[in-house]
Amino acid sequence: MSKEWVSALDTVRVLQSGTWWESQFRYARTACLETEDNGAALTFEFTGTGVALGLGQHAVSAYGRPALGKLIVTVDDGSSRVLYPGNEAREVVLVRGLTQGKHRVRVEHRQNRGEMGCRISGFRVLAEHSGELAFVLNGEENGFFVDARAVIRQGGQVMRNALVRNWLSGACRLTGLPAGKGYSLELIAYGWEPQRIEEIAIHKKKETHLPPVYLHRNLETRPQGVRFPVLGHPAIRRPGEFFRVRLGAYDHTIGQVKLSRRVGPATISRTVAFEEDPSASFYYDREGTVKLPQDIPPGLYDLSIRVSGSRGDFTRQSPRSVYIVQNYPKDPVFMTFGHLDTQGQYQAEYERQLAEVANLIAPDMVLISNAVNPAYISGSHLVLEMPYAITFGNHQFYGHEKWYGDQVGIIDYGPDLCILNFGHPWHVDLSQANALLSSRAKARIKVINAFEHNAPVETFLDKHRVKLIHDAHGPGEKVMTIGATPTTRVGKSNSSSFRVVRFKDGHVTSATYRGDRVEPPPLSVTYDPGNDGIHDRVTATVTNILEDIFPKCRVTFVLPAGVYAIDGGRLETMVTSDDERYTVLTVRVDAPAKGTVRATAWKKE
């Protein structure tokens, strides 16, 4: 391993001249020092034979200013070299092969053809027998691809786990790796398929270059040829009910229509009846009605439609677009969060944690406001077991509609509950939103998932008797009542918070709050000995570090096929997988405040 890492913020080890300030672009993983001062410099003294420089993350393509200056690097007052942060990886070897002893490196920022700026995270003192690994990383939807997590192992041991990639150039580098063979590299970016590269050799005092790496998108993150229902605009129905489907099929034959979902190694699916409506077709598009079978288990399903014709056979898909419930909620529960600044992998990992917390809390729906990068967000929520509505606001990556469709839409959750998704500021034309809510005048509970909360009170909130508006941007009290209905406003308090919003008798009764990013998550579950479909007796332990009680938490077991009993919880569903190899159980438990609860599933003889 590298000998030593010293943060640029260490004012004892790293001496500053000129104007520098602490910078952490949009809640990035680590802070760094930033400057736009021509001639500002950092000086670092170290003992060893080599040193590498850590560069801070660039601002992302959608907003912010990247580091476009240049760096003049001098070691021991010798000859200098020039680095261009806009082109370099986030780790750069400054010098190797020095005599063992004390040395000094000076890094000076200079103007580069009128462009300024650099961000420096720190210095890595290199062990004499270490080397580097370098590669270029790009992928599908490259304009949305910011960074990735690189995990490099040797003999099963993790040697480095770091965020890599300069999005301007795709350059990646990991410095300070011990020389040796048998390395493997895993690259993880939520929303893209992970990639693993084996049998890498690291050479002493040298850089190993890999061929360029290209990550493909995970096909479950975006509809393919289906207009509705789609991700973010799901159909929510009970067994035996109907929903409409529109797809691109031109003059081809529409074949098998299927709903399927995966729970670990288990696949649960049903073939569904589709009746086309010829009057609704136009050019490439065809439309019809799906009837759900009575035996379809509750859960969030992918929709797939086989189409065949002169151009061959292919499948139209709409992942995570149909949610089956046993009953529509009388007193709905929502989990809400927003403004998480999910512009890259680090915040996407936090959003994945929130999705896993949501799976345990088991709200009826998740409301996400003022989101940023849809490519990572759609990957974060691939684990989510219930539908969500999402808006994109003042830090958005433009083009998010290809993932989540129109900024204005409505989700029907049975006849008594509807959720208007409204992603614009409220000064725009409200005719579409008015029409959507007016057509659901009889709905007992109307909810808005918004970018901001300042909707017209009398002419909109009161007119439509809106019970809840969730937002993640703007001033004012974060939980307050508005107008005569009244409407409860629930907002976020910082870029880590989430809330659980509960209704009773048609009104919001609580909006509990968690304000800090906590590692590990504040609500979590572990399985002993494992939850991989191998063991026929498994204990789930739910740990809650929060001060709130969470009743009816949902725990999912994946077990070998059979009939099971539950100790310590209430059995909700027991479903056999398509191949009859697994049984999937959902169990409800009550998580006490600042405590644990256990439930054991065991196979009956």
Residues 6+ apart with CB under 8 A from 477: 489
pTM of the model: 0.96
Largest CA distance in the chain: 82
Helix (H), strand (E) at residue 130: strand 130-139
- In this prediction, residue 605 carries a pLDDT of 81
At 244-266, the pLDDT tens digits run 999 999 999 999 999 999 999 99
Residue that is written with structure tokens 């409800």 in the block: 588
DSSP label at residue 279: G
Same-domain status, 20 and 143: yes
- List the CATH number of the domain containing 470: 3.60.21.10
- List the CATH number of the domain containing 548: 2.60.40.1180
The answer to whether residues 183 and 133 touch, using CB atoms and an 8 Å cutoff, is yes
At position 423, the amino acid (one-letter code) is G
Same-domain status, 252 and 275: yes
**How far is Cα 74 from Cα 600, in angstroms, rounded to an integer?**
63
- List the CATH number of the domain containing 292: 2.60.40.10
What Rg value do the Cα atoms of the chain yield, rounded?
27
**How far is Cα 94 from Cα 205, in angstroms, rounded to an integer?**
12
Same-domain status, 348 and 472: yes
Q: Which residues pair with 226 in a beta bridge?
A: 247
Q: Which domain holds residue 383?
A: 333-514
Q: How many structural domains is the chain composed of? A: 4
- In this prediction, residue 1 carries a pLDDT of 45
Query: Which parts of the chain sit beneath pLDDT 50?
Result: 1-2
Last residue of a domain, one of 306, 324, 342: 324
Token pair in block for residue 306: 């086989």
Same-domain status, 343 and 277: no
Last residue of a domain, one of 215, 237, 266: 215
- List the CATH number of the domain containing 27: 2.60.120.260
Q: Which residues pair with 587 in a beta bridge?
A: 555, 571
Last residue of a domain, one of 497, 514, 531: 514
Same-domain status, 237 and 190: no
- In this prediction, residue 518 carries a pLDDT of 63
Q: Would you state the torsion angle of the CA atoms of residues 286, 292, 293, 295, taken in this order, to the nearest 10 degrees?
A: 140
- In this prediction, residue 63 carries a pLDDT of 83
Same-domain status, 277 and 405: no
Same-domain status, 15 and 120: yes
**How far is Cα 128 from Cα 50, in angstroms, rounded to an integer?**
7
CA distances from 595 to 227, 360, 544, 550 (A): 45, 15, 5, 11
Residues 6+ apart with CB under 8 A from 397: 60, 61, 62, 144, 343, 372, 373, 374, 375
HSE of 480 in the Cβ direction (CA atoms, 13 Å)?
Answer: 10
Same-domain status, 10 and 158: yes
Same-domain status, 111 and 167: yes
